[in-house]
Amino acid sequence: MASIAELLATSLTALKKVQQGGDYMIIKGGELSPTHMKRLMANNFLKPIIKGWYVVTDPMALPGDTTAWYASFWNFIVRYATERYGNDWCLSAEQSLAIYSGSTTVPAQVLIRAPKGNNNAIQLIPPTSIFNLSAELPSVIDHSNQLGLNLYPLAEAIIVATPSMYSNDPLTMRTALAMVSDVSGILKILVDTGQTIRAGRVAGAFRNIGRGDYANEIISTMKRIGYDIREDDPFAEVVKVSLSPSPYATRIRLMWHNMREDVLSNFNRQKSNLSAKEFLKQMEAQYKLDAYHSLSIEGYQVTDELINRVKRGAWKPDGDDVDSKNALAARGYWQAFQIVKKSVSEILNGTSSAEVVQRDLSVWHSEMFKPCVTAGIIKPSDIVGYRSNQVYIRNSMHTPLNPEALRDAMTTLFELLREEPEASVRAVLGHFVFTYIHPYMDGNGRVGRFLMNTMLASGGYDWLIIPVGKRDEYMAVLENASVESDIVPFTRFLSTI
């Protein structure tokens, strides 16, 4: 008779075959036998989403871990909707615009439009759900997005979007409008359908973001065709921000603009205004504490003895610690810290903090992982440039930007750091936006804290250490900023530790 372990191995083999033949993370009832399904769920390899649908999970994850679900969320939406409606479905205009504009947050509820929808909500893994809306589809459905979703075309989504979208999510609307490179696509729909109220709203929206030429073209063309049109600005305010055809660049610029005043109002750390020599001495004295907490936040188990051994140079790549991830991380942190000290020294002696960070940030990162290259764990190319694969943050509804977006996003971050006169804003938003982008496969938290501290140093603030005991609060306020666009809790957190 087979042992329990052998039976589980058989079920895992069956699961592997299903994954190789289709979606890696989503399993549909019937793809595995009831016996395999029951065994895999009992051992936490599968978690039910709704009846007949399951997500592959990590059996070692803590109870309530949602990482696997958020990582596979949109894959499930595509498979579920296609299974139920064939190709006769699409997301709402508003959610289509969120996808186009680079939103990376898993929504609490997805609205699926379909002629055969039943106007019912279906609860998924909390806090997410689906609403199947009985509604007509746009004349053309866009499938070209990276997520494989059925979306409204950008032009039609802008026209159809409800007036409340401009007040509820102005960031998405401004970003979507900035993506339009030729207004003729919008005009063709408007003149054929005679939607004068929507035409006036879209014209007003374009004028609000500084595209008066588009607004004038919409107004004059509609009037020339014979429609009576009145321009109406749907936004609550005019925002003076340079917009870009890149949705990622625009979204980050608007986030910075929207959050800046909240940082200035809520950041109240006292400046120490140490001399450059005093600051560097203090920074060196805090190294052991900084390394312990920063590495521990990332899950490494480091000790004073290990940190001191690395600091003394007693750690060797070919020694007993070569296979220890903790020793490799400690050595890498030490090497990176030495480069950060040089960066801070330049800043304290008058060099632009933004220019130093733009030049050195990738060096900090590569030094952090050089010991792993030496040990043969990763390739040298793995520490050159930005990541080329998608990453996910454990338990976060925010998905970091896709690899194709990284260069635009990081270029924009460096521009914002150069343009920002207040060190407190550079520190808080620099850290937040960097981790929001998550440009590397690993090390983003450590590099983000280095970035924060170099910016604090540029403004006369002391080196700031986030205690590992406050890790959960730290992650929660970053999540709040990413998902709810509320930077106040993160700002207050950094002000009080």
Residues 207 and 340 in one domain: no
326 within some domain: yes
How far apart CA 212 and CA 318 sit, in angstroms, is 65
CATH of the domain at 334: 1.10.3290.10
Least confident range of 119-123, 381-385, 416-420 = 381-385
Q: How many CB atoms lie within 10 A of CB 158?
A: 27
Predicted pLDDT of residue 278: 96
What are phi and psi for residue 261, nearest 5 degrees? Answer: -65, -35
396 within some domain: yes
Residues 151 and 178 in one domain: yes
pLDDT band at 474 (very low <50, low <70, confident <90, very high): very high
Q: Using N-to-C axis directions, what is the helix angle for 287-297 and 276-285, rounded to 10°?
A: 60
Predicted pLDDT of residue 275: 94
* Last-in-domain residue among 225, 258, 287: 225
CB 149 within 8 A of CB 170: no
For the segment 13-34, the average pLDDT, to the nearest whole number, is 85
For the segment 411-422, the average pLDDT, to the nearest whole number, is 98
Q: Is pLDDT of 210 > 80?
A: yes
Residues 255 and 134 in one domain: no
The first and second tokens of residue 495, run together, are 């002000």
239 within some domain: no
In 3D space, the residue among 148, 144, 149 whose CA is nearest the CA of residue 113 turns out to be 149
Q: Is pLDDT of 302 > 80?
A: no
User: What residue type is 288 in one-letter code?
Assistant: K
Q: Is pLDDT of 285 > 50?
A: yes
Q: What percent of the chain has pLDDT over 70?
A: 95
Residues 281 and 427 in one domain: yes
Residues 312 and 259 in one domain: yes
242 within some domain: no
For the segment 426-437, the average pLDDT, to the nearest whole number, is 98
For the segment 102-113, the average pLDDT, to the nearest whole number, is 96
Residues 196 and 335 in one domain: no
301 within some domain: yes
What residue numbers bound the domain in which 39 lies? Answer: 4-60
Q: Is pLDDT of 1 > 90?
A: no
Q: What are the tens digits of pLDDT across the range 170-179?
A: 999 999 999 9
Q: For the chain, what is the domain count?
A: 3
For the segment 97-123, the average pLDDT, to the nearest whole number, is 97
Q: Is pLDDT of 36 > 50?
A: yes
Dihedral sign, Cα of residue 429, residue 432, residue 433, residue 439: positive
Residues 376 and 452 in one domain: yes
Sheet holding 129-134, edge to edge: 90-91, 109-114, 129-134, 120-123
Q: Is pLDDT of 306 > 80?
A: no
Q: Of 57-66, 138-147, 207-216, which has the strongest mean pLDDT?
A: 207-216
Residue 44 backbone class (left: φ over 0; alpha: ψ -120 to 50; beta: rest): left
User: What residue type is 112 in one-letter code?
Assistant: I
Q: Is pLDDT of 311 > 50?
A: yes
Dihedral sign, Cα of residue 488, residue 491, residue 494, residue 497: negative
Residues 454 and 335 in one domain: yes
The residue written with tokens 């929660």 in the block is 476
Residues 477 and 328 in one domain: yes
* Last-in-domain residue among 190, 225, 260: 225
Residues 432 and 306 in one domain: yes
Residues in Cβ contact with 375 at an 8 Å cutoff, skipping those fewer than 6 apart: 317, 322, 323, 328
For the segment 293-309, the average pLDDT, to the nearest whole number, is 80
Angle at 67 between CA 65 and CA 71, to 5 degrees: 155
> The pTM is what?
0.92
How far apart CA 96 and CA 81 sit, in angstroms, is 15
Least confident range of 11-15, 162-166, 250-254, 417-421 = 11-15
How far apart CA 195 and CA 88 sit, in angstroms, is 25
Residues 92 and 201 in one domain: yes
How far apart CA 149 and CA 380 sit, in angstroms, is 36
Predicted pLDDT of residue 60: 84
Residues 251 and 281 in one domain: yes
Between residues 472 and 318, the one the model is more confident about: 472
197 within some domain: yes
CB 141 within 8 A of CB 93: no
Predicted pLDDT of residue 93: 98
Residues in Cβ contact with 25 at an 8 Å cutoff, skipping those fewer than 6 apart: 55, 56, 68, 71, 72, 75
Q: Of 30-34, 275-279, 372-376, which has the strongest mean pLDDT?
A: 275-279
How far apart CA 175 and CA 279 sit, in angstroms, is 41
The residue written with tokens 């194709």 in the block is 404
User: What residue type is 323 in one-letter code?
Assistant: D
Q: What are the tens digits of pLDDT across the range 316-340?
A: 554 444 447 888 899 999 999 999 9
In 3D space, the residue among 32, 30, 76, 39 whose CA is nearest the CA of residue 55 turns out to be 76
For the segment 219-232, the average pLDDT, to the nearest whole number, is 96
Predicted pLDDT of residue 88: 97
How far apart CA 249 and CA 257 sit, in angstroms, is 12
Which of helix, strand or coil describes residue 449?
helix
For the segment 44-73, the average pLDDT, to the nearest whole number, is 92
Predicted pLDDT of residue 90: 98
Q: In the chain, what's the furthest Cα-to-Cα distance?
A: 84
231 within some domain: no
For the segment 152-161, the average pLDDT, to the nearest whole number, is 98
How far apart CA 276 and CA 310 sit, in angstroms, is 26
Q: What is the mean pLDDT of the chain?
A: 93
How far apart CA 158 and CA 179 sit, in angstroms, is 11
Predicted pLDDT of residue 23: 67
384 within some domain: yes
Half-sphere exposure of 410 (CA within 13 A, CB side): 21
Predicted pLDDT of residue 323: 45
